Structure 1
Amino acid sequence: MSSEDRFRRVYAGNFEALLAYASRRVEQPDDAADVVAETFLVAWRRSADLPPDDEIRLWLYGVARRVLANHHRGGMRRERLGERLRQRLTPAPTRDPGSEVPQRLAVRAALSRLNETDREVLLLTIWEDLQPWEVAEVIGVSPAAVRTRLSRARARLRQLVGHDRDAPGHVLDVLAVPVPEEGR
């Protein structure tokens, strides 16, 4: 009998028992399925070293027990990490210049008419407050290209929205803020 045939037989003969074993030890059914899948993955990888048929179920239980222990440790780590993050993180105020502009729908419509790269350069610079060298790194172009695209995007946006400086919440007040000096 080939090792693949033996593995299929071991799988078919032990799947239900291992699923029941894992189900009684985890809270979520999906977690039990993951434990069983990981157990059989180990068995597949070690198929050449599987014990004789009369010992295989106990061996699989041992593997499943270790997989469960790893699962529980991982869950505890995630819980501790989540708690630390909740304690350290305070909600950052979201700065959406569009909400400061009474005509934000017009601004968003104008933004959507820019080409994707120009729009991304503009949004990363203004809304994410990134410097041109940082934007360049994010989108994979040179800082000079970012500055050119930023200038072009601002001009195009100005053209699409209009530039009546007397209008309250004028788009240039929000979107054409000076670019900070690069700190690099």
Structure 2
Amino acid sequence: MISPDERFRQVYAANFEALLAYAIRRVEQHEDASDIVAETFLVAWRRGADLPPDDEATLWLYGVARRVLANHHRGGVRRERLGERLRQRITSLMSADPGHEVPQRLIVRAALARLPEIDREVLMLTAWEGLQPREVAEVLGLSAGTVRTRLSRARSRLRELVGDDPPDAGHVLDVLTATVPEEGR
């Protein structure tokens, strides 16, 4: 009787070249083919008890290689999508000058500091944390109606405090004073 290790060596020797050729024909980068074959034989090693006898082992290995290739291609698509998102993010970060908004932010922060604490908190929870009025109400222990009223008044007061004088302050202010979408009411 042949040992499992010897059986694996025989299957490997008999199928390595054919599986490598199979993988090379199915990947864009030839370097990936060796990874596909290595993963295929790793599965065969781990599942040695499932390895069918003789010629059936070759077909079984092709099936494993096919699934490994499918995983490889899916991973490539995910890597491409992630790479594209990262490239877009880097481009947007590099093109934005964070120093440009500093004066406007200081103006808005100073105006926020002049609001009553509850109004300031309602505005900040809405604009900076992205909470809807009903969520702000829960955080602050108020009714949703009270929060909507306070939010409307706080936005008006903030606009009065900032005014339209500072150049580009409107851009920063717009975020804080945007109207609440219908679904958030």
TM-score by length of 2: 0.49
Give the helix-richer structure, 1 or 2: 2
TM-score by length of 1: 0.49
